[in-house]
């Protein structure tokens, strides 16, 4: 992404707000900030929830 890209900025702000709204209340402030430090998992979990249409993760049997 180009550092001056408006589109990239909007994407990043939207992604962060979505993660705040989905994960922060479940994890609490401190654990949420630690969770964000795991670079690959938060966006991956968010994509999975969007594909499934639900934030409930059901185990595969």
Per-residue pLDDT tens over the stretch 35-59: 888 877 777 888 888 888 876 655 5
Output the pLDDT for position 5.
Answer: 93
Look at the alpha carbons of 26, 28, 31, 33 in this order and tell me if their dihedral is positive or negative: positive
Output the pLDDT for position 26.
Answer: 86
Average confidence (pLDDT) over 12-37: 87
Q: How far apart are the first and last CA of the chain?
A: 40
Does the model's pTM come out above 0.75? no
């Amino acid at each position: 992404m180009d550092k001056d890209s408006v589109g990239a900025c909007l994407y990043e702000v939207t992604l962060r707000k979505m993660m705040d709204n989905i994960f922060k209340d479940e994890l609490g402030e401190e654990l949420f900030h630690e969770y964000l430090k795991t670079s690959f998992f938060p966006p991956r979990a968010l994509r999975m929830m969007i594909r499934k249409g639900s934030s409930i993760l059901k185990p595969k049997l």
